Amino acid sequence: MENTAQHTDMIRTEAQRIGFGFVGFARAEYLDEEARRLETWLRQGAHGRMSYMENYFDLRVDPSKLVPGAKTVICLTFNYFNPEKQQDPEAPKISRYAYGEDYHAVVKDRLHDLLAYIQSEIGEVSGRCFVDSAPVMEREWAQRAGLGWNGRNTLTINPKRGSYFFLAEIICDLPLLYDEPLRDHCGTCRRCIDACPTEAISPEGYFLDASKCISYLTIELRDEIPPEFRGKMDHWMFGCDVCQDVCPWNRFSEKHAEPAFEPHPDLLQLSKHDWQELTEESFGKVFKKSAVKRVKYAGLKRNIDFLEK
């Protein structure tokens, strides 16, 4: 037990030293209740055209399928909040998380550094790193590890820093001291529900119809955006921050300290006209290492054109 406590403290200290914010530890076990909720969500078609959400169900709910002999899910947050906004209030909007370099690469590099540290300091530890690109139920693990509660907008909310952070995990076969979940602090607040431009959040919250979510429509959906959303996109061309912007807990957000997340010098200065006239060359320059490249030039132009119709 003494070694377990020491290892837990070592990992938390090192994780925060290399840039992670909150660090929590959850017992790696089958997600029984979460599996039932996921089944319901899929059965209702709330995942839209994201057919990949139907794949690898057993891996999503059982960490031992990803790492044999898994004992612990190390859960971490990585702050991306930036108080700066686009200068032209009429310009199509981009979510804060995509201001800088693609978080998948930035955060995963830190995770690999942390896993290497664990292996060098503790010995033979088998583990895998995950950042929003594998069948891992990140928010459920974050909740179990005490990093926050899953709010009415379905995002993980931490009472000290709000929700403007990425979630990341290391699933490993090292036993550690496990944290207790935090209780829900949404109370009677309905700001996210009332503010959602497309009514993607259910009337009581805690359930998101992704097929109506602006982030889904502008990023995940490869087909044309359905005409019923015309005039309801709140001028978002990539992602959406509405349910976070209105969340009272985000008054505690602080600017990130990650240089890679700083926006390209031109990004926040582009006017509405600049976006309308965006060329493929400019797109490649401004979004060279950005997550926006996922939708490609044609996808972003589709989104911008839809806003203008």
| Active-site residue set | 132
Residues 188-206 pLDDT 10s: 999 999 999 999 999 999 9
Residue 52 has pLDDT above 80, yes or no: no
Q: Are residues 77 and 110 both part of a single domain?
A: yes
Across 125-129, 271-275, 305-309, least confident range: 305-309
Residue 58 has pLDDT above 90, yes or no: no
Average pLDDT over residues 61-75: 96
Q: Are residues 110 and 248 both part of a single domain?
A: no
Q: Quick one: pLDDT band at residue 51, thresholds 50, 70, 90?
A: confident
Is residue 14 in some structural domain?
yes
Is residue 289 in some structural domain?
yes
Task: Read off the pTM.
Answer: 0.95
Is residue 180 in some structural domain?
no
Residues 236-273 pLDDT 10s: 999 999 999 999 999 999 999 999 999 999 999 999 99
Q: Quick one: pLDDT band at residue 55, thresholds 50, 70, 90?
A: confident
| CB atoms inside a 10 Å sphere around CB 105 | 12
pLDDT at position 244: 98
Q: Are residues 132 and 199 both part of a single domain?
A: no
Percent of the chain whose predicted confidence (pLDDT) is above 70? 99
Tell me how far CA of residue 279 lies from CA of 34, 282, 304, in angstroms. Answer: 44, 5, 12
> For the chain, what is the mean pLDDT?
95
Q: Are residues 112 and 213 both part of a single domain?
A: no
Residue 1 has pLDDT above 70, yes or no: no
Q: Are residues 104 and 132 both part of a single domain?
A: yes
Query: What residue numbers bound the domain in which 210 lies?
Result: 191-308
pLDDT at position 309: 77
- Looking at 172, 200, 217, which one is the last position of a domain? 172
Is residue 177 in some structural domain?
no
Residue 64 has pLDDT above 70, yes or no: yes
Average pLDDT over residues 280-284: 96
Q: Are residues 30 and 166 both part of a single domain?
A: yes
Q: Quick one: pLDDT band at residue 36, thresholds 50, 70, 90?
A: confident
Residues 206-215 pLDDT 10s: 999 999 999 9
Percent of the chain whose predicted confidence (pLDDT) is above 90? 88
pLDDT at position 33: 87
